[in-house]
Amino acid sequence: MSTFKAPKGTYDLIPPESATFLAVREAIAAPLRTSGYGYIETPGFENVELFARGVGESTDIVTKEMYAFETKGGDKLALRPEGTASVLRAALEANLHKAGNLPVKLWYSGSYYRYERPQKGRYRHFSQVGAEAIGVEDPAVDAELIILADQAYRSLGLRNFRILLNSLGDRECRPVYRAALQDFLRGLDLDEDTLRRAEINPLRVLDDKRESVQKQLTGAPLLRDYLCDACKTYHEEVRGLLTTAGVAFEDDLKLVRGLDYYTRTTFEFVHDGLGSQSAVGGGGRYDGLSEMIGGPALPSVGWALGVDRTVLALEAEGIELELPAVTSVFAVPLGEEARRVLFAKVTELRKAGIAADFAYGGKGLKAAMKAANRSGARYALVLGERDLADDVVQLKDMDSGEQSAVAIAEVLTELRSRLG
């Protein structure tokens, strides 16, 4: 072991488990790729103000969890705690919204950083795959995104997840509700911190997990009763489209989410086998975010699914993904000349798309066959001096142990037909 360890709240992805992470990312991206979403990649850090303004000055993410720092040049930056503000910033900067094809649909995959108290499913460095549809107010886009996330989870074999759905209203109706909720909260027996939160962001108090708070919240005014007609109609349309698509959801009137930019549709994917960190993904509409970061009005909607938690959800359901074989063929040369010939053969196989590996380091037959076994290869190619003289190589089936001589020139054809 070295003197150093992975920093607190982080972990390394190492083989063979890392293959599952790649497969999960790929499974989440697959339905996006075939639904008109283009891939976007933005820097791992941004101007700290982008998140302060976008995610919200009073959110936990900005006040407590951001890795913010000043560079030697005096720039105030932060490691990105989420992707939406960055993606919108990049789309505006590249004028994608002016190309005349709205919504601009983008997907992304990467590392995010939050200085949170680490526990199972909650890390300081984690991984998301996300999607954003920028510049259109249309309930079908909201429905599309929820359907695509549902499709991604189902393609992985996940079943024990639920979709929670709510509407947070818009700039017309939310302020009225906010005031009513504030009035209600001021009359409760709450600690100072919570009272302060009630003044700055009363909706977040609804999300307080403490029983002492939750008990007092029965009877709190519900946003549903304050939604304006436009928001109500919009929400009903999203619900209807999901129902028609056969995607089950639960109305969760207290779902508020921890980021301030949300308006109207908000949703969360929760998995029931994960304990307290049960949200495997979440998202919603953010019609005002563009203006908050200095852009034009661009109503938008998106989500991000947590890769780490999705992997934990697979474990909780006992699902093992069928991963493609890492190595199909393992080559074992015995002697110098055999090494040269077989190395060229492996290169040829790889070029032809056959996953092949090689016994490096001048191993003897026994150690090399052990390596072949460990690699999980279906076939070993063994080349000894006598084989060389006969222009053949021994092709060994690693499952049955059967072995036969194949002409060196015929190896590719033979393996192709055997591997299908």
- Annotated binding-site residue? 114: yes
- Annotated binding-site residue? 82: yes
Q: Which stretch binds ligand HAM (CB under 6 A): 17-25, 80-88, 349-357, 397-405?
A: 80-88
User: What is the DSSP code string of 269-316?
Assistant: EEETTSTT--EEEEEEE-TTHHHHTT-----EEEEEEEHHHHHHHHHH
User: Minimum Å distance from CB 401 to ligand HAM?
Assistant: 45
> Is the Cβ of residue 203 or residue 280 nearer to ligand HAM in the bound state?
280
Q: Which residues contact 207 (CB under 8 A, 6 or more apart)?
A: 254, 256, 257, 258
Interface residue with ligand HAM, options 123, 153, 330, 379 (CB under 6 A): 123
Interface residue with ligand HAM, options 122, 162, 224, 363 (CB under 6 A): 122
Residues 306 and 295: their CA atoms lie apart, in Å, by: 28
Binding mask 266-285 for ligand HAM (x = CB under 6 A): -------------xxxxxx-
The answer to whether the beta carbons of residues 23 and 155 sit under 8 Å apart is: no
User: Minimum Å distance from CB 307 to ligand HAM?
Assistant: 8
- Annotated binding-site residue? 378: no
Binding mask 224-263 for ligand HAM (x = CB under 6 A): ----------------------------------xx----
Residues 173 and 169: their CA atoms lie apart, in Å, by: 6
- 126-145 positions binding ligand HAM, by CB under 6 A: 126, 128, 130, 132
User: Minimum Å distance from CB 310 to ligand HAM?
Assistant: 7
- Annotated binding-site residue? 257: yes
> Is the Cβ of residue 9 or residue 157 nearer to ligand HAM in the bound state?
9
At 60, which helix (H) or strand (E)?
helix 60-63
The answer to whether the beta carbons of residues 359 and 332 sit under 8 Å apart is: yes
User: Minimum Å distance from CB 239 to ligand HAM?
Assistant: 19
Does residue 202 belong to the site contacting ligand HAM (CB under 6 A)?
Answer: no
The answer to whether the beta carbons of residues 227 and 235 sit under 8 Å apart is: yes
Binding mask 298-337 for ligand HAM (x = CB under 6 A): ----xxx-x-xx----------------------------
User: Minimum Å distance from CB 43 to ligand HAM?
Assistant: 16
Residues 40 and 192: their CA atoms lie apart, in Å, by: 43
User: Minimum Å distance from CB 270 to ligand HAM?
Assistant: 9
> Is the Cβ of residue 281 or residue 333 nearer to ligand HAM in the bound state?
281
Residues of 16-54 as b/e, b for ≥16 C-beta within 10 angstroms?
eeeebeebbbebbbebbeebebeebebeebbebebbbbb
User: What is the DSSP code string of 137-170?
Assistant: --HHHHHHHHHHHHHHHHHTT--SEEEEEEE---
Q: Which stretch binds ligand HAM (CB under 6 A): 78-86, 211-219, 225-233, 328-336?
A: 78-86
C-alpha closest to that of 382 among 335, 416, 314: 335
Does residue 83 belong to the site contacting ligand HAM (CB under 6 A)?
Answer: yes
Number of residues in contact with ligand HAM under rule CB under 6 A: 26
Q: What does DSSP say about strands 161-167 and 250-251: parallel, antiparallel, or unpaired? A: parallel
- Annotated binding-site residue? 283: no
Does residue 84 belong to the site contacting ligand HAM (CB under 6 A)?
Answer: yes
> Is the Cβ of residue 106 or residue 223 nearer to ligand HAM in the bound state?
106
Helices 48-55 and 84-93 pack at an angle, to 10 degrees, of 110
Half-sphere exposure for 169 (CA within 13 Å, toward CB): 20
Angstrom CA distances, 133 to 89, 111, 267, stand at 13, 20, 15
Backbone angles phi, psi at 366, to 5 degrees: -65, -50
Does residue 26 belong to the site contacting ligand HAM (CB under 6 A)?
Answer: no
- Annotated binding-site residue? 83: yes
- Annotated binding-site residue? 132: yes
> Is the Cβ of residue 126 or residue 379 nearer to ligand HAM in the bound state?
126
User: What is the DSSP code string of 78-96?
Assistant: EE-S-SHHHHHHHHHHTTG
Question: What is the Rg, in whole angstroms, of the alpha carbon atoms belonging to the chain?
Answer: 27
Binding site for ligand HAM (CB under 6 A): 82-84, 114, 116, 122-123, 126, 128, 130, 132, 258-259, 279-284, 286, 302-304, 306, 308-309
Q: Which residues are annotated as a binding site?
A: 82-84, 114, 128, 132, 257, 261-262
